[in-house]
Amino acid sequence: HTSLPLVINTWPFKNATAAAWSALQSGGSVLDAVEKGCARCEMEQCDGSVGYGGSPDESGETTLDAMIMNGDTIEVGAVADLRRIKNAIGVARAVMEHTDHTLLVGESASVFAENMGFIAEDLTTNKSVNIFSQWLKGNCQPNYRKNVFPDPSKSCGPYKPRATVKQNIRAQHANTRSHDTIGMVALDQDGHVAAGTSTNGLTHKVPGRVGDSPIVGAGAYADSSAGGAAATGDGDIMMRFLPSYLAVELMRAGADPSAACKTAISRIKKHYSEFFGAIICANTSGHYGAACNKAPGFSQFHYMVSDSESDVPLLKSVDCF
Ligand code: SD4
């Protein structure tokens, strides 16, 4: 296909697209493109939802999830609940290239990163401290716990289970989009595909929470014999459906990318009609598509594309259904 190479990523993160594109143009691999693209967002703190200083958890800490996948070899490296290291996608790539493992988590992932030469720094910023202190002042609402009650002597927590009261506070803020992960797929002229993600997850998440982004087939998937896909949105729900894997498999079976993305969203919609989420995908001939679930406050999804037909990143949009 004439439009290859191709870079596609979630949200209007155009500097990330440009960084990935220029990695390809300067002879880099599709893995280099995905790594450079996602790293660009980590540095820029895209939307406050990628990289340091965003989405403080219940204890005020920013923790990062990321993954990268080689569609030729089906190798994957991922980190989840990564602390103190800004370049999560870089650590994910190090997991892939310097271990036989797929996913490292938490404190141990951070120690691994430090040993591999990544710099340990505080991921907290004035902004994240501010988000956290506002949340404490608001009596820790909203939060992601249910069927629990907090110690009344504390502003919030420690929480105790409460079997009898069903109270899902989450519904109250399901509409506030406090999370905009970068997910990226890159293809080169020879049909190599790579995909990756990077995110700081979800604001006020329970410490230890891991979203869909670092989970293979959920946050992203790549197979050079079919294509690649990446997802964004409410990871707690989306990871139950492996939407990126599904989209790639549908493309393998001959579905066009838009239809594949739509089916992946439909599968989730059947169970969670109002979930917030979107997916992008591209097949090996350089055709691409996207789909999103229509939810309160979310009717259109924006994403970026660079291909040989347009040297500059183009803003694309799809209407949610
Ligand atoms: C997560 N999926 O951690 C990520 C957040 C996200 O757009 O993608 N937001 O649940």
pTM for this entry? 0.94
Strands (E), 89-219: 103-105, 148-150, 159-161, 182-187, 193-199
Q: What pLDDT does residue 174 have? A: 46
For residue 65, which atom of ligand 1 is closest to its CA? 3
Count Cα neighbours of 303 within 13 Å in the Cβ-side half-sphere: 30
- What confidence category does residue 2 fall into, taking pLDDT thresholds of 50, 70 and 90? low
* φ, ψ dihedrals at 126, nearest 5°: -55, -40
Residue 24, pLDDT above cutoff 80: yes
Q: What pLDDT does residue 154 have? A: 79
Tally of CB atoms within 10 A around 178: 18
Strand partners, 104: 79
Best residue among 62, 179, 200 to mutate for probing ligand 1's pocket (most ligand atoms within 8 Å of CB) is 179
Alpha helices in the chain (DSSP H): 14-25, 30-44, 88-98, 106-115, 126-137, 235-238, 243-252, 257-269
**ipTM of this predicted complex?**
0.97
The span from the CA of 88 to the CA of 210, in Å, is 14
Residue 172, pLDDT above cutoff 90: no
- pLDDT tens digit sequence for 222-261: 999 999 999 999 999 999 999 999 999 999 999 999 999 9
- What confidence category does residue 151 fall into, taking pLDDT thresholds of 50, 70 and 90? confident
Reported as type and span, the H/E element at residue 292 is strand 288-292
Q: What pLDDT does residue 178 have? A: 55
The span from the CA of 278 to the CA of 238, in Å, is 9
Cβ of residue 202 lying under 6 Å from some atom of ligand 1: yes
For residue 205, which atom of ligand 1 is closest to its CA? 3
Residues labelled as active-site residues: 181
Cα distances (angstroms) measured from residue 250 to each of 134, 148, 245, 261, 264:
44, 40, 9, 9, 9
> What mean pLDDT is reported for the chain?
93
Cβ of residue 182 lying under 6 Å from some atom of ligand 1: no
Spatial contact of 159 and 256, defined as CB atoms under 8 Å apart: no
For residue 210, which atom of ligand 1 is closest to its CA? 3
- pLDDT tens digit sequence for 30-63: 999 999 999 999 999 999 999 999 999 999 999 9
- pLDDT tens digit sequence for 4-13: 999 999 999 9
Question: Smallest Cα–Cα separation from 177: which of 89, 55, 66?
Answer: 55
Atom 8 of ligand 1: nearest residue by CA position: 232
